[in-house]
Amino acid sequence: MTVDLAIGELMVAAAAREIRDQERIFVGMRLPMLAFFLARRTHAPAAVGIFENGVIRDRPSPAPLATMSDTPNVAGALWCGGMLQPMGLLQRGEVDVGFIGGAEVDRHGNVNSSYIGDPKAPKVKLPGSGGGADIASLARRILLIMPHDRRRLTEHVSYVTSPGHGNGPGWRDRVGLPPGGPSALITTMAVFRFVDGEALLESWHPGFDEGDVLRATGWRVRPAEDAGPTPPPSEEELAVIRELDPDGVWTRR
């Protein structure tokens, strides 16, 4: 990785490329929000962002946000309602993409944000689902963004807060969930692509190689046939990212 390019900037660019034009995106904060606005400014000018608190907007806020309920997120919004409305869009199957993060993820894209260890005496208590389980269950596809660590990318999560592909192909249908689930996992080291319910290594970021990713992952990783380096942001993409996050608050933490 070059000195000029931060891993967070690379992750934002990789996530933005997963967004298609005219899609409705359940955005969230930090890197997912930047990825949505980057996609809007480049290849997906008609994409629409949905925030869990009921704000729907199609352009960046006029000032940086610390939370989705900050006043600048209201300015210029297409619509401001309550939490019931975005959750209703999920239930009707009208959300194309949802972003999810958490403490743990496994090879099938199941995410844990509840606790680590024995549920009767957990080692670590975590915030829980929020809207994560709803998004993972009902959006047409899911993009996962996580720090890369063997303790986080684990063979089996301690608890399934937000369901992915369960134990493999056909699981979502068997338990009554709509088609969908995770399509990509973007970490601080790599990009994984879900194929038949399993995360395959698609690319590794500059500064790392395939071996680094395999050693830092808690399951036996299978590389995709065309696996290779993650494409860096273009000059245009990088300029937009730095315009959106000029102080590197989210991308250079």
Positions annotated as catalytic residues are 52
Listed in sequence order, the DSSP H helices in 116-208 are 132-138, 171-174
And the tokens for 120?
């009767």
Q: Is the CB of residue 130 less than 8 Å from the CB of residue 178?
A: no
Phi, psi of 90 (to 5 degrees): -60, -50
Nearest residue to 97 via CA among 18, 7, 165: 18
Q: Is the CB of residue 173 less than 8 Å from the CB of residue 165?
A: no
CA 235 to chain centre: 23
Q: Is the CB of residue 171 less than 8 Å from the CB of residue 195?
A: no
Angle at 188 between CA 186 and CA 192, to 5 degrees: 30
Residue 235 CB coordination number (10 Å): 8
Find tokens 């994560």 and name the residue: 132
